Chains A and B, each alone.
Chain A
Amino acid sequence: MTPGELELVARLCLMRTGRRLDTSVPERTAARLGIVARREGYGNVDDLLLALRTSEAERLAWPVVEGLTAFERGFMEDPKVLQQVARRILPHLAGVKGDEPVRIWCAAAGSGQDPYSLAILTQEAAAMGGDLQVEIYASDLSVKGIERARKGVFSHFEIQKGLSARQMIDHFQPVEGGWQAASSLRDMIRWRRVNLFSDTLGSMRFDLVVCRGVLPQTATHLRPTAVVNLAMSLAEEGFLVLGRGEGEGEADLAPALLALPGLDAIYARNPAFRTLEV
């Protein structure tokens, strides 16, 4: 790909999603565009880019953006952080909520590994006698990604990244093309398309929001907006989980969020934070 072509797709991603595309490895960008080209019926990336520049610009914009910004994740990523969520945050929230379910939102959920991981941890806690009711909402920018994630089918390679063999056979079953999440797991998750910079989940407030990998890719001038949107989606006593190291030294997190001593990558909504003042 030429520098001009890389700039074209990077600008498209920035305009549509607020995310900076890492174009430092052009081969990786070209490989991802190759998948989009095949899916959209073009012979190669050059033909796709030609169409993107001319007659098919509007129709192809989202498929290209979705193909280039999709997150590739494993299950149980940052296991230490997830253990903190499972052992400390969720039991605390369950106590606060009483008979009401703990409401969780996994933003930018990609293929679904994060929400399925949380669903597994919740079921494991329940199996050990924990009285934990949750509602899991998951969102992503990509309609195709959501369709795929909702089915809960993961390839032979994907299913082996992050899950123990016990978790794999307890919560998934082999199907054609991979392993599918058990219906009890799939039924726990509600999917919705959300662009973090232009959409909201209405008046919904969440006790726990998991949003990993987004802030580092977000254009600097849009980060305060992203942080405010995430903070606004939190209940008064809600928590935000970022990727490991994503919030360190991040001045944009203040004043909306407070770091929690002893807890990595987990932030509480600042009680003094009022969105109208921002």
Chain B
Amino acid sequence: MKSCLVADDSPVVRLMVRRLLEAAGYHVREAPDGAQALAACQEDMPDLILLDWRMPVMNGLECLVRLRRLPGGAAPCVIFCSVESDPGMIGQALASGANEYVMKPFDREILAGKLSLAGAA
């Protein structure tokens, strides 16, 4: 079974995304901030990471940069999920190693499409 880590400080968003991904066949873990997400990756690298931008302790961008430097950190497919819709920020996320970017709010169809585009469907 493919594994996914959902990193978002909103329990509601984590629950919604968990349901969508479990329906898509993923085993899902959760993290409420970037630091805990990074720790979870060091413990067991997931196949897919859905990463919020604005989180306490460590934001998503810093988490992504650090993740990509970890042993095996280049492997996971990372999809940013954020309310940020500034093209400059989206470009920064992609340049920092994100495979795709989803703007919140989104629905099942959009997430499925992004998983497909990122090769994680």
Contact = CB atoms under 8 A, between A and B. Distances in A.
Given A169-B90, A174-B85, A164 B117 contact: yes
A275 interface: no
A209 to B, nearest CB: 26
Contacts of A161: 109-110, 113
Q: Which of B91, B113, B114 has the most CB of A within 10 A?
A: B113
B87 A156 contact: no
Contacts of B106: 157, 160
B87 A169 contact: yes
A165 B90 contact: yes
A235 interface: no
Contacts, number: 35
A164 B100 contact: yes
A168 interface: yes
Interface residues on B, range: 20 to 34
Given A160-B102, A160-B103, A174-B85, A165 B113 contact: no
Interface residues of A, number: 13
Contacts of B114: 160
Contacts of A255: none
A39 interface: no
A213 interface: no
Contacts of B110: 157, 160-161
Given A162-B113, A174-B85, A156 B103 contact: yes
B107 interface: yes
Interface in A172-186: 173-174
A12 to B, nearest CB: 30
A74 interface: yes
Interface of B: 85-87, 90-91, 93-94, 98, 100-103, 105-107, 109-110, 113-114, 117
Interface of A: 74, 156-157, 160-162, 164-166, 168-169, 173-174
